[in-house]
Amino acid sequence: MAITPSVRDAYGQALVELVAENPSCVVLDADLSIGTRSAMVQKAHPENFFEMGIAEQNMVSVAVGLALTGKTPFVNTFANFLVGRAYDQIRVGVALSRTNVKLVGSSAGFSNYPDGGTHQSTEDIALMRALPGMTVIVPSDAAEAVEAVRWAAKYHGPVYIRLPRDEVPAVFPRDRDFTVGKIHVLRQGRDIVVFACGTMVAMALEAAESLAPEGIDLTVANVSTIKPLEEQVVRALAGGTGRAITVEEHSLIGGLGDAIGGTLKNMPGVVVESIGVKDSFGQSACSYDELLKAFNLTAENIAGLARKIMRRA
């Protein structure tokens, strides 16, 4: 699989283009604009950029005010700071009030690998998914991130988009438009369906390729919209194989695994296993890959679990 430009670079360029097309789009950041790439908007369209300093709660409240004046604000900072520090403002000002605010959590999951658990987000999907009316999107690569951002700009209502820090393999089909709530089947197989989101989609595809010579055939489903979830498709895919694996760079509590498991709980005979973070904070590492291996978020681990499931079949 080819490596694409970094997701955050693609995101920043998408924001620049959005603002050029629609000046009602505005961008806010909390002293991390270089890291989130919203600085690209600051340079190209300074009149549409607001540097709010290290004041995430205030930033979200200002975004709510801008939305109420007819603007479409994109709020940016690292995912853990956005969701954690400003949760009350997001809950009341954005979700409860149904304001047209777009929340973009950058350097999500373990992608901010050097800085440890304080800067890594493995709880953000759970917190945002629990908020009534909040759309939660986890793009699989740079191309899907761009499409998700463009969709969010047109949609009127609260949106949370979760982005990783750097490059990821290209997996989003170029001939397929992004549709919120739509599950994209990237590989069709007969034995096990793997539901994955974000950076784990590429891992799932790699696992599927490694298992093919062994006669184990995986379906790989890209669940980029965690909420609303396309439940009918989840049931159809899982029912077709009778075996499912969920994979996410997030806590096993409240994320993709819980969403899929809850959808399949009343389907007798369907086996569901989940790969994710087991009730733990992150830790510092010398590389992103090192951290993913430490938490078993690898293609090898997906393939190993698939083998175990098939041996039990």
| pLDDT by 10s per residue, the chain, length 313 | 555 679 999 999 999 999 999 999 999 999 999 999 999 999 999 999 999 999 999 999 999 999 999 999 999 999 999 999 999 999 999 999 999 999 999 999 999 999 999 999 999 999 999 999 999 999 999 999 999 999 999 999 999 999 999 889 999 887 778 899 999 999 999 999 999 999 999 999 999 999 999 999 999 999 999 999 999 999 999 999 999 999 999 999 999 999 999 999 989 899 999 999 999 999 999 999 999 999 999 999 999 999 999 998 7
Residue ranges and CATH numbers for the domains of the chain are: 7-162 (3.40.50.970), 184-312 (3.40.50.920)
Torsion angles phi and psi, residue 277, rounded to 5: -85, 125
Prediction pTM value? 0.96
Active-site residue numbers? 56
Structure tokens at 298: 């690898």
Cβ atoms of 288 and 113 closer than 8 Å: yes
Structure tokens at 207: 């696992």
Distances (CA, A) of 73 to 62, 112, 246: 9, 25, 33
Strands 49-51 and 271-277, how do they pair? unpaired
